[in-house]
């Protein structure tokens, strides 16, 4: 009944979708780091053109990206207002009482907005074009060199993928429990904060019991299928670096260098 889509993956077939998840993950990290070095509007302009091109190639409807921005709208407005009026500066544009708008304030706020918007757009492209399972595979692969210093890369990835698997199941279950308790006279919409918090007990207790039971059964099922961590384990889907991945990496690195160089204009 409930068709929950996890994350915001937009399934289609584009060159960006086909890229190796490791390339996309690392690329996003490079991109974000590079963005932090930029302090010239030319650099932001360049980045915006780059993002627009990516969206075009990825065949993702642009409105999905804007939806990601809506989530940070509040932070955006709040932080830019603070920056606008609280940045110390000499070039006063106007002043009413203690409120002072300066040229410097406008510049700082503008750059911050650009930086945040570009940051969110970049990471949204990653989640829109990479399925959760590819993401976990990518994270596992990237973390695996750290296994030598005892970072449990495989376990982290397994936990993430099981969590993804059970989100829809538990969401369905929560809905069912809420209805069942309503049928027993529970009321979740009235009363003060404490009453409402208390009314959650009849939902949370059964939900936790069921989650533990599921975890127990799942562990047994995994054991029965010979699971023993990543000892002697193989993977059906192998990640292979294709020529397109190398090309994409090259493009991305030159782009990152280019936007950082705008500092020196």
Catalog residues that contact other proteins under the rule CB under 8 A.
1, 3, 6, 132-133, 161-162, 164-165, 168-169, 172, 176-177, 179-187, 201-202, 205-206, 209-210, 213-214, 217-218, 220-228, 232-238
Burial class (CB in 10 A: 0-12, 13-18, 19+), 205: exposed
Beta strands 92-96 and 99-102: pairing type? antiparallel
Measured CA to CA, the distance from residue 169 to residue 211 in angstroms comes to 10
| Closest approach of other proteins to the CB of residue 118, in Å | 30
Helix axes 21-37, 132-143, angle to 10 degrees: 80
Nearer to other proteins, 155 or 187 (CB): 187
Nearer to other proteins, 106 or 178 (CB): 178
Contact 35, 119 (CB under 8 A): yes
Cα 157 to Cα 130, 133, 162, 163, distances in angstroms: 15, 9, 9, 10
Cite the beta strand spans of the chain per DSSP E.
Answer: 92-96, 99-102
Total Cβ atoms within 10 A of residue 135: 21
| Closest approach of other proteins to the CB of residue 200, in Å | 11
Nearer to other proteins, 149 or 236 (CB): 236
Nearer to other proteins, 179 or 196 (CB): 179
| Closest approach of other proteins to the CB of residue 106, in Å | 42
Nearer to other proteins, 56 or 213 (CB): 213
Q: Which residues contact 147 (CB under 8 A, 6 or more apart)?
A: 153, 154
| Closest approach of other proteins to the CB of residue 13, in Å | 13
| Closest approach of other proteins to the CB of residue 195, in Å | 12
For residue 248, the Cα-to-chain-centroid distance in whole angstroms is: 21
Contact 42, 262 (CB under 8 A): yes
Nearer to other proteins, 231 or 265 (CB): 231
| Closest approach of other proteins to the CB of residue 132, in Å | 7
Nearer to other proteins, 148 or 240 (CB): 240
| Closest approach of other proteins to the CB of residue 191, in Å | 12
């Amino acid at each position: 009944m409930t068709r929950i889509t996890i994350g915001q993956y937009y399934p289609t077939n584009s060159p960006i979708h086909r890229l190796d998840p490791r390339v996309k993950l690392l690329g996003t990290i490079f991109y974000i780091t590079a963005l932090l070095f930029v302090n010239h509007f030319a650099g932001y302009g360049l980045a915006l053109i780059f993002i627009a091109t990516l969206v075009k190639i990825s065949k993702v409807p642009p409105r999905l990206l804007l939806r990601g921005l809506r989530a940070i709208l509040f932070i955006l407005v709040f932080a830019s207002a603070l920056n606008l009026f609280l940045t110390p500066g000499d070039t006063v544009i106007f002043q009413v009482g203690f409120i002072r708008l300066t040229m410097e304030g406008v510049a700082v706020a503008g750059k911050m907005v650009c930086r945040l918007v570009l940051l969110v757009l970049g990471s949204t492209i990653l989640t829109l074009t990479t399925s959760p399972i590819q993401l976990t595979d990518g994270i596992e692969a990237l973390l695996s060199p750290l296994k030598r210093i005892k970072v449990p890369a495989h376990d982290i990835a397994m936990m993430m993928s099981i969590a993804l698997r059970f989100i829809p199941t538990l969401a369905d279950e929560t809905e069912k429990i809420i209805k069942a308790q309503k049928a027993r006279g529970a009321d979740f919409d009235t009363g003060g904060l404490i009453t409402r918090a208390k009314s959650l007990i009849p939902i949370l207790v059964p939900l936790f019991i069921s989650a533990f039971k599921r975890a127990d059964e799942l562990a047994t099922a995994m054991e029965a299928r010979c699971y023993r961590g990543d000892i002697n384990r193989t993977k059906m889907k192998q990640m292979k670096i294709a020529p397109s991945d190398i090309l994409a990496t090259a493009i991305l690195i030159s782009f990152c260098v280019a936007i950082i160089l705008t500092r020196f204009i």
